[in-house]
């Protein structure tokens, strides 16, 4: 699918990190971008800078997603591109040093935002995409790109909730792509490794460098711009469908 002013996109988590970089790159290619995020101040600022639109949306809430999509469609028309970057990265062991078990509400929150939130937006965007006219030689109607994580495959100590939620995103990819194949809608996922997201950016420089040194090549943290570049390639390459691409510099995470 080509990127131009005839395309509208939804980017969740677009107020920072991977989502912000994606929103900016899509807008740079003339795509009409709507940012979904809970950070109204930051989201509005970025939307203004890219001549886009902002909606305060809780991805874990079905009605909030529905209202946000209605607003986005009223401003930009039907979405053809959906990129899900909204998520949280909690850390909590199954049993802590004092013998307390993992708080189930914390586990549920990770699943609700990272997995169910991704599904809510993806499924509702898909429902909109299948109603659009097919475009191009292949008759494509849309592309959905979800964000998994290498933790889905190599979850570390304290990542039970996070890894489970991201593994769910991985498991969602192929069946959803198969569901939507007859409608001309593709579904992909990206599994980033160690990236300079707001969470890591808040760590001391020495810690950032230590983490980056664990990456075989290039021996550094990934940048949000590199994630966005892969999003662009996936959108533009129609043969990419139903799979998860690791974006990790060949790192394989150890237990800690």
Q: Which residues are catalytic?
A: 162
Under a CB-based contact definition with an 8 Å cutoff, are residues 245 and 186 in contact? no
Under a CB-based contact definition with an 8 Å cutoff, are residues 111 and 164 in contact? yes
Burial 36-54 (b: 16+ CB within 10 A, else e): bbebeebbbebbeebebbb
Dihedral angle over CA of 246, 5, 142, 62, nearest 10? 90
159 strand-pairing partners: 92
Burial 198-207 (b: 16+ CB within 10 A, else e): eebeeeeeee
Rounded Cα–Cα distance for residues 208 and 10 (Å): 31
- HSE of 137 in the Cβ direction (CA atoms, 13 Å)? 3
Beta-carbon contacts of residue 98 (< 8 Å; ≥ 6 apart): none
Rounded Cα–Cα distance for residues 206 and 162 (Å): 25
Q: What token pair was written down for 80?
A: 């053809």
Instruction: With H, G, I as helix, E, B as strand and everything else as coil, classify residue 148.
Output: coil
Q: What token pair was written down for 86?
A: 């909204």
């Amino acid at each position: 699918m080509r990127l131009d002013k005839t395309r509208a996109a939804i980017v969740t988590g677009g107020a920072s990190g991977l989502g912000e970089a994606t929103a900016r790159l899509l807008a740079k290619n003339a795509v009409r971008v709507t940012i979904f995020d809970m950070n109204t101040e930051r989201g509005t600022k970025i939307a203004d800078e890219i001549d886009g639109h902002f909606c305060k949306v809780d991805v874990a809430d079905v009605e909030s997603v529905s209202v946000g999509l209605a607003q986005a469609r009223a401003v930009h028309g039907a979405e053809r591109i959906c990129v899900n970057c909204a998520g949280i990265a909690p850390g909590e062991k199954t049993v802590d040093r004092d013998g307390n078990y993992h708080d189930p509400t914390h586990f549920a929150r990770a699943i609700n935002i990272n997995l169910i939130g991704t599904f809510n937006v993806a499924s509702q965007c898909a429902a909109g995409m299948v109603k659009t006219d097919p475009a191009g030689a292949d008759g494509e109607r849309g592309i959905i790109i979800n964000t998994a994580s290498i933790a889905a495959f190599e979850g570390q100590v304290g990542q039970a909730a996070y890894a489970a939620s991201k593994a769910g995103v991985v498991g969602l990819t192929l069946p959803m792509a198969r569901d939507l194949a007859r409608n001309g809608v593709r579904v992909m996922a990206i599994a980033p490794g160690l990236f300079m997201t707001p969470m890591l950016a808040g760590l001391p420089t020495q810690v950032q460098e230590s983490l980056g040194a664990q990456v075989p090549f290039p021996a550094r943290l990934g940048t949000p711009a590199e994630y966005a570049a892969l999003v662009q390639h996936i959108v533009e390459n129609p043969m990419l469908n139903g799979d998860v691409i690791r974006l990790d510099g060949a790192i394989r995470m150890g237990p800690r």
